Amino acid sequence: MAASIIDTLRYARRLKEAGVAPEQAEAMADALAEEFVPSLATKADLGLLGSELKASMAALEARLTWRLLGGVGVMVGLAVALIKIG
């Protein structure tokens, strides 16, 4: 999987061309692949996150809908009470 994301051989060659010692260039390329690549999100990670986000948004929408309906109910009740008093 790492080879498709970062071409460590090409990275090491570019470092060598820039004057970095071959051993250091290879070590830097290996370290980059070991440390950076595992922390990248995969398509599956993003899909899971997307489904979790959709579920959270649906729950939030339901809560806000009920709060809005409750507020409207209170306002209608107050309006009816004020009309009867007045």
Rounded mean pLDDT, 60-85 = 95
Statement: residue 46 has pLDDT above 60: yes
Statement: residue 66 has pLDDT above 80: yes
- The pLDDT tens digits for 34-45 are 877 666 777 888
The residue ranges of every structural domain in the chain are 1-40, 53-86
Residue written as tokens 């209170």? 74
Statement: residue 58 has pLDDT above 80: yes
Supply the pLDDT for residue 3.
43
**HSE, side-chain direction, 13 A CA sphere, residue 32:** 16
Rounded mean pLDDT, 52-81 = 95
Residues 6+ apart with CB under 8 A from 15: 24, 25, 28, 29
Side chain identity at residue 21, one-letter code = A
Q: What is the DSSP letter of 40?
A: S
